[in-house]
Amino acid sequence: MSTVSPVDDAYRTTPLPAQEVVWPSGRSRVFPASAKMVVRNYVSAASLLAIGWVFYWSVPYYQWYFDRVGYVSMACVIAAYLLVLPIFYATFPDSYTPKCRLFWQTLMQLPRRRPTAKEAVALRAVLVKAFFLPLMINWLALHVLDIYDTCRQFDLAANWLHDGYALMLGLIILIDVLCFTIGYSVEHPRLGNEIRSVEPTLLGWMAALACYPPFFLLTMTALNWRSVDHPEFGSFLVEAPIYLLMLLLMSIYTWASIALGFKASNLTHRGIVQSGPYAWVRHPAYVGKNLFWWFGALPWLLSAAATDLKLLFAGLAGLMGWSGIYCLRALTEERHLGQDSEYQAYCRRVPYRFIPGVW
């Protein structure tokens, strides 16, 4: 199995323990860092932010995808980062090496030797954050705007069901995106969300990236994507219970994100979460999200069933293929996390991946 970075076999999946941090006592416990280390960490992080901004500003696809909202949002976040980072890094003891500084130290050593396990985690962790965080910032801004527009256009008398559903769905998804935005933005030993390992296999990365832009455009085209967030059935008696069920499914999805807390992120091991819906199944978010999409495709499936059976089977195959990708994500994540004895114990306590008592 090929890997994302050239590390020794022994380093591929074994998670690292969280860095042992010795916190000083007394008044210096809150801000124990020396000025020298604050500057080094700040420069390391600021340089990565600058490179990321140039990349996303210059790639044509992202110029189209982010548009003005995405770029303004990212600029605001970067400016806030640059202001807050000196205080943030002042809270680290000098003995602690943040991922951004370790990333640059590792790059400087690459011509001479392979990365150590700790360095390989830093390299991958920076790639994960660089890919996902801009997407989350963009989506967070877009969801805020969508909720504002829904509230502004809300028509209680004429279309309360559809507008109410849209508003509730927007709020639910906004909370989910906020959880992941914070998770990608902040990593600190006091929060207990250090990245101990990152998915090391190409298969694991492909399964995850296939669900996100720009790669998801190919996935959606190949699988003939037909699901929508706001399906219309033309009947209040049909739409009302289905909308309630879809909101419930997305609530489970967001509940899982809330349970992850500061550990919310893809492709990483940041400690085992066993609370919330994770006390019942190991992949509650994937279940909620995929069932939501199946209900969202119902109007199209019903129409295809009445007009073209070949089209119906193609649509069903596409939905099953999309759900299959999430099954693959679950399996690669379990293989990754399964190197941790705590996760092995969790799997014994929660033996079901998707459906309690069944599978």
| pLDDT (tens digit per residue) in 120-145 | 999 999 999 999 999 999 999 999 99
Determine how many CB atoms are found less than 10 A away from the CB of residue 148: 11
- Statement: residue 21 has pLDDT above 70: no
- Indicate the pLDDT class of residue 153, thresholds 50, 70 and 90: confident
**Predicted confidence (pLDDT) per residue in 275-333, tens digit:** 999 999 999 999 999 999 999 999 999 999 999 999 999 999 999 999 999 999 999 99
pLDDT recorded at residue 7: 31
- Statement: residue 22 has pLDDT above 70: no
pLDDT recorded at residue 215: 96
pLDDT recorded at residue 111: 85
The two structure tokens encoding residue 16: 């690292």
18 vs 103, residue with greater confidence: 103
The two structure tokens encoding residue 348: 């014994």
**CA 122, 269, 321 angle in degrees (round to 5)?**
110
CA distance 58 to 66: 12
- Statement: residue 4 has pLDDT above 60: no
% of residues, the chain, pLDDT over 90: 85
| Dihedral (Cα; 350, 353, 355, 357), 10-degree rounding | -40
Do β-strands 197-198 and 268-269 pair in parallel, antiparallel, or remain unpaired?
A: antiparallel
pLDDT recorded at residue 20: 55
CA distance 97 to 170: 38
pTM for this prediction: 0.90
Q: Is the bond preceding 284 in cis, omega lying within 30 degrees of 0?
A: no
From residue 331, alpha-carbon distances to 26, 203, 223, 274, 335 in Å are 46, 10, 20, 18, 6
**Residue of 261, 276, 249 lying closest to 169 (CA atoms):** 249
* Concatenated DSSP letters of 150-211: HHHH--TTT-HHHHHHHHHHHHHHHHHHHHHHHHHH---GGGT----EE--BHHHHHHHHTT
Radius of gyration of the chain (CA): 22
- The answer for 234, left when phi > 0, alpha when psi is -120 to 50, beta otherwise, is left
**Predicted confidence (pLDDT) per residue in 166-178, tens digit:** 999 999 999 999 9
pLDDT recorded at residue 28: 65
CA distance 340 to 271: 9
What SS3 state is found at 198?
strand
- Statement: residue 12 has pLDDT above 80: no
DSSP character for 286? H
Q: How many residues are listed for the chain in this entry?
A: 359
pLDDT recorded at residue 155: 76
